[in-house]
Amino acid sequence: MEFEVTPWEVKGEVDYEKLIRRFGTKKITEDLRQKIKKHTKELDTMLRRDYFFSHRDLDLVLNDWEKGEGFFLYTGRGPSGPMHIGHLVPLIFTKWLQEKFGVNLYIEITDDEKYWVKDCEWKDVQKYSDENIKDIAAVGFDPEKTFIFKDSEYIRNVYPILVRAAKKITNSTAKAVFGFSGDTNIGLNFYPAYQTVPTFFEKKRCLIPCAIDQDPYWRVQRDIAEKIGYKKTAAIHSKFLPPLTGIDGKMSASDADTAIWLEDDEKAVKKKINKYAFSGGKTTIEEHRRLGGDPNVDVSFQWLKILFENDDNKLKKIETEYLSGKLLSGELKQILIEKINLFLTEHRKRREKIDVEKFTKTGALAKKMWGSFFI
Amino acid sequence: MEFEVTPWEVKGEVDYEKLIRRFGTKKITEDLRQKIKKHTKELDTMLRRDYFFSHRDLDLVLNDWEKGEGFFLYTGRGPSGPMHIGHLVPLIFTKWLQEKFGVNLYIEITDDEKYWVKDCEWKDVQKYSDENIKDIAAVGFDPEKTFIFKDSEYIRNVYPILVRAAKKITNSTAKAVFGFSGDTNIGLNFYPAYQTVPTFFEKKRCLIPCAIDQDPYWRVQRDIAEKIGYKKTAAIHSKFLPPLTGIDGKMSASDADTAIWLEDDEKAVKKKINKYAFSGGKTTIEEHRRLGGDPNVDVSFQWLKILFENDDNKLKKIETEYLSGKLLSGELKQILIEKINLFLTEHRKRREKIDVEKFTKTGALAKKMWGSFFI
């Protein structure tokens, strides 16, 4: 079956090389990785292992950086419910970029868009927004250089620039890029304009870390940016975190079983991984010992590779032993269960202690932003 | 030729009875006029002479009033340039309503919509907004009971309710009612939502005085209001102020010659009326004396009837003498010229002295509104 990737659906086994050609983005080459490393000294796991694999204008971001012009980061979250591990992946990578370059980061909480897109109440979206902001802040961004804002609250500071952006985007473009139709409400139809706004928070170049299915959205920004006096945004694209149940598609919030939620306790994680994590192992132990497992389709191995085992030697050992049949599927799952539970425990510890207001109001960047108006 | 009335065009000789049936509104009957008069003691010229001739739910507004529930008024202005006399007509009538009922009035300055609809710069729209607000305030509204606001500034207080309204309006509805297409920018496509927002400023029934071509816009509000917990807005509709050049269509800002601008000085008014005001008189004085003029197609007479001669006896005398041929076309024009110049002089005097901030910030209602947030 041919795979399909749109901003609202990922189906089939994705051929990422083909996707780069189809979307017209560029591959992150070894040269580019080395250019990054020149400034960061080391490469994040997700870059090293080609999980972040594609980009637009990342070379220009690095050129700007080398010329001392700097850049800034922008990402976002639609507060439609609790968050799962898949939601954290681009944030964790973003945190690494912020740490290494010491740049400003803007995180848009799209409460308006989620209200428009879902059958839900405004107060629920607000509740999830506040919960999500805590989870996001707990990733460990620099509280003095990170501004997390809700669309509905920050609107007061950005409406004129939002209005300017909206003037440059036609209904036809919104329909083509976002798949809108006559039944779409005019709020959601308007949302693509707000999505471009944070790319205009600084005159520097903006860099957006995101999964590659989000790329079409940013093409809208790249179409209009120069017309209103700003730079086209750059982007760095990841592959998809596979859902528990199989290597195809991407982890989604719409089926609770295929995701690990940040709220999942140790027992829940253990149960889910053991029950649902698609295995590349053989059906009997004997067969597995004899023929070995297939790490390429094994979700547990892939999760270790993408997020949970940063040590290349350890990962290599796991891979080799799994391939040879020495490591059983259940043992591989156990490694992942321990890693995830450690990760979630630490995340929740940080979450409890986090001073959210630093990110939304009182930190240096947040304070500056509340005093700024964008026209 | 069959006439045509849409919110963006008025063509041909309008049959207002037919328009009432076509739009599905109701005629303002003598009974309804008397019901109004019970509370206002007298009837405004525009009501008396059937210039405000149609309505939706005006009977319910009066019922509410009689039950002590009250109502409120809402009107608006797109700040696309300087204002002409035609723009003031609904405002003058609105002022009369406010005076007689002592109710709150909200005036929306749609700077966002005008920017979206026109090829223009944001700063120009802001300049016109500020100029227009002065002209509007100078009409003489109660500064403690009138709130004039720019969309771009008041957005901070209304975004959540705007978001809720937008969720209930589909692209198809916006397209059908406002004539939007694929080329329409997503800002303008979103605007119908903001237009409904002031009708939700109070839980009471809203009454909108407007020309009848604007009625379709308010049908959008009437479709969604009850779904989000508010009353359907009522409306009271006027006919169109004829352009100088002929009795058909409506006075428009797009041809400077067919309108009298609030900035026009005495000489300009005299010249325009003498040169352009379409006359119902005969081509020679002799013929006019013998056959008389036709006040029904005479723009000068119609303007006197609609706006400038409130005294019914005086108007009757003018009509009789014009019909008989005693009053010449030039003399009729002279009467109008003097009336207009008096009107404009007084308007500009009030404009110079007006304390605009009362309406936008410091008056009792304005102050209350800046402290209110609509969810």
CB-CB contact of B276 with B245 (8 Å): yes
Q: Looking at residue B34, what is its pLDDT?
A: 97
Q: Does the beta-carbon distance from B163 to A112 stay under 8 Å?
A: yes
Percent of chain B topping pLDDT 90: 91
Measured in whole angstroms, the distance separating CA A329 from the mean position of its chain's CA atoms is 28
Q: Looking at residue A256, what is its pLDDT?
A: 72
Going by pLDDT thresholds of 50, 70 and 90, the confidence category of residue A1 is low
Distance CA B100, CA B160 (A): 33
Going by pLDDT thresholds of 50, 70 and 90, the confidence category of residue A247 is confident
Q: Does the beta-carbon distance from B169 to A159 stay under 8 Å?
A: no
Interface-testing mutation among B167, B191, B196, with chain A (most A C-beta atoms within 10 A):
B167
Write out chain B residues lying below 8 Å of A155, CB-based: 155-156, 159
Q: Which domains does chain B have, with CATH numbers?
A: 4-244 (3.40.50.620), 256-351 (1.10.240.10)
Q: Does the beta-carbon distance from A183 to B170 stay under 8 Å?
A: yes
Distance CA A200, CA B43 (A): 54
Does the predicted model carry a pTM greater than 0.90?
Answer: yes
Name the residue among B299, B307, B180 with its Cα closest to residue B238: B307
Tokens (6 digits) for B338: 């003097």
Indicate the residue of B115, B155, B170 with minimum beta-carbon distance to A155.
Answer: B155
Percent of chain B topping pLDDT 70: 99
Write out chain A residues lying below 8 Å of B115, CB-based: 163-164, 167
Per-residue pLDDT, averaged over B238-254, amounts to: 82
- Beta bridge pairs of residue B211: B238
B216 vs chain A: nearest CA distance in angstroms? 17
The ipTM (two decimal places) reads: 0.93
Nearest CA in chain A to B166: A187
Indicate the residue of A160, A168, A182 with minimum beta-carbon distance to B170.
Answer: A182
CA dihedral A36, A41, A42, A43 (to 10 degrees): -10
Q: What is the pLDDT of residues B66-82, one digit of tens each?
A: 999 999 999 999 999 99
Distance CA B370, CA B355 (A): 18
Q: Does the beta-carbon distance from B166 to A183 stay under 8 Å?
A: no
Tell me if chain A has a CB within 8 Å of the CB of B205: no
In the predicted model, is pLDDT for residue B5 greater than 70?
A: yes
In the predicted model, is pLDDT for residue B7 greater than 80?
A: no
Convert A211-223 to b/e letters by CB count within 10 Å (16 or more is b): bbbbbbbbbbbbe
Q: Looking at residue A156, what is its pLDDT?
A: 94
A150 vs chain B: nearest CA distance in angstroms? 11
B322 vs chain A: nearest CA distance in angstroms? 52
Write out chain B residues lying below 8 Å of A193, CB-based: 186-187
Indicate the residue of A116, A152, A192 with minimum beta-carbon distance to B166.
Answer: A116
Identity at A246, one-letter amino acid code? G
Query: What's the N-to-C CA distance of chain A in angstroms?
Result: 48
Tell me if chain A has a CB within 8 Å of the CB of B171: yes
Q: Looking at residue B195, what is its pLDDT?
A: 97
In the predicted model, is pLDDT for residue A33 greater than 90?
A: yes
Q: Token pair 């002479």 is at which residue? A: B49
Q: What is the pLDDT of residues A306-326, one digit of tens each?
A: 999 999 999 999 999 999 999
Q: Where are the beta strands (DSSP E) in chain A?
A: 4-6, 9-11, 26-27, 52-56, 71-77, 105-109, 146-150, 205-211, 234-238
Distance CA A199, CA A194 (A): 10
Percent of chain A topping pLDDT 70: 99
Q: What is the pLDDT of residues A250-276, one digit of tens each?
A: 777 667 777 899 999 999 999 999 999
Interface-testing mutation among A186, A189, A200, A228, with chain B (most B C-beta atoms within 10 A):
A186
B79 vs chain A: nearest CA distance in angstroms? 15
Q: Token pair 């008397």 is at which residue? A: B34
Task: Tell me the DSSP string of B279-315.
Answer: --S-SSHHHHHHH---TTT-HHHHHIIIII---HHHH
Tell me if chain B has a CB within 8 Å of the CB of A112: yes
Going by pLDDT thresholds of 50, 70 and 90, the confidence category of residue B1 is low
DSSP three-state, residue A5: strand
Distance CA A60, CA A234 (A): 8
CB-CB contact of B218 with B56 (8 Å): yes
- DSSP H helices, B67-204, are 85-101, 111-117, 122-137, 151-167, 171-178, 186-196
CB-CB contact of B28 with B53 (8 Å): yes
Q: Token pair 């999942």 is at which residue? A: A264
Q: Does the beta-carbon distance from B189 to A168 stay under 8 Å?
A: no
CB-CB contact of A195 with A77 (8 Å): no
